[in-house]
Amino acid sequence: MIVLTCSGCAVNRDSADKVVAEQRAGTRYSKNTLMVFYDTHIGKEPLLNAFKKMNCEVLHEYRLSCGFAIKVPDGKSLRKTAKRLTKVHGVTYVTRDQIQKLQ
């Protein structure tokens, strides 16, 4: 199994408890953005339909890594949205968007 090294509130279909939260000192995260990755054999359609039902806005599509950056609507929990997205057919990984400060 390949696990991407995107840290944050990570959700992996193969994890025992489905949600693994990592909070490192000094790490900052976007308050309303998730990154969601999918299996290419299944495709992105089930995921796009879920985004529409959940009123999530697609900010960017990552074609090489088969994923999306999405904006979760104001007032919606990132953790609950991430958990819900893991149940979508074909989703392989969900993580919070990390903010990196360049010096």
Average pLDDT over residues 9-38: 63
Nearest to 72 by CA among 100, 96, 47: 96
To which CATH superfamily is domain 9-99 assigned? Peptidase S8 propeptide/proteinase inhibitor I9 (3.30.70.80)
Q: pTM higher than 0.95, yes or no? A: no
Residue appearing with tokens 């944050």: 8
> For 36-49, what is each residue's pLDDT tens digit?
999 999 999 999 99
Residue appearing with tokens 């939260």: 21
Q: Could you tell me the residue ranges of all domains in the chain? A: 9-99
